[in-house]
Amino acid sequence: MKRRKLGKSSLEVSAVGLGCMGMSIAYGQPGDKQEMIALIRKAVEHGVTFFDTAEIYGPYTNEELVGEALAPFRGKVVIATKFGIKMDASGQQLQDSRPEQIKLSVEGSLKRLRVDAIDLYYQHRVDTNVPIEDVAGTVKDLILEGKVKHFGLSEAGVKTIRRAHAVQPVTAIQSEYSLWWRRPEEELLPTLEELGIGLIPFSPLGKGFLTGKIDDKTTFDKTDFRNIVPRFTPEARKANQTVVDLLRKVAERKKATAAQIALAWLLAKKPWIVPIPGTKKLDRLEENIGAVNVELTTDDLCEIESAASKITIQGERYPEALEKRTGI
């Protein structure tokens, strides 16, 4: 497995990581715990050293899963987790990045992950009630205490990133980024390049759509959150097949799959980009890892850019209430 450094930091990880959220929530029924542990360990065998989770996934059960699965590989893998979202009594998710809450969160995550220090600790979403300087300062204190190694932000806007970075250097930004969500190219990527910060694209396969395995007739489990995503209405899925057709065309020539081309396109963008596709299936894991060996030439990339520029993706990426939580 090829490796990459996240920006100017000392943090080096596998070129493709593993997003673990879907093993516990969001994409239908949770995976069988022992099967998911086996899958995570198989990822390590294949050279994956970067694993992504969060305290709210489950909540808490995903961190416990990742902690148990990776316990035999301490010091050999990098675990990223997140703070800043909690559940109220009704099950509603609330943002809470008060310093006292962060300090509570880190203790819980350390215990569930079975580690002495968290490799990469993200603020899950920007909390408009807490100055980002206070958040960055709290994480800086945790780094000085040896409980955290690197600071990250998820779905933050460039102004917030700059303010945070001035207090505590930011190692990585997590953001949705793929061929069907390219807004990060407008401001985020140039800012990260300037500041020397890595980018971790989540949903690099468009929540599964860019694999080519989903069409307008696909039905999702009733617990699958894609049922409420505007971009996944049957009409939008039918309209958006054009981007999958583009990936398939390139994939056929490169003797790869649509998913591998989607990931290879991200990897070709910048050397400090590390996508974290998620899966509950071994064959998908192996397919995703195989993307690191797909070399897209300048001509390939120009072809993709030219064709993609003529495609208008239908449907918003989130319901309005969720989209309001992102980017400042």
Residues with a catalytic annotation lie at 57
DSSP letter (8 states) at residue 33: H
Token pair, residue 112, equals 């569930």
CB atoms within 10 A of CB 133: 13
Enumerate residues 6+ apart whose C-beta is below 8 A from 209: 180, 231, 232, 237, 240, 244
For residues 54 and 27, is the Cβ–Cβ distance under 8 A?
no
Token pair, residue 17, equals 């990581």
Q: Which residues of 165-177 are buried (b: 16+ CB within 10 A; e: fewer)?
A: bebbbbbbbbbbb
What does the alpha-carbon distance between residue 306 and residue 304 come to, in Å, rounded to a whole number?
Answer: 6
**Residues 76, 78, 79, 84, CA torsion sign:** positive
What does the alpha-carbon distance between residue 203 and residue 205 come to, in Å, rounded to a whole number?
Answer: 5
For residues 82 and 63, is the Cβ–Cβ distance under 8 A?
no
Which of 82, 79, 305, 273 minimizes the C-alpha distance to 188? 273
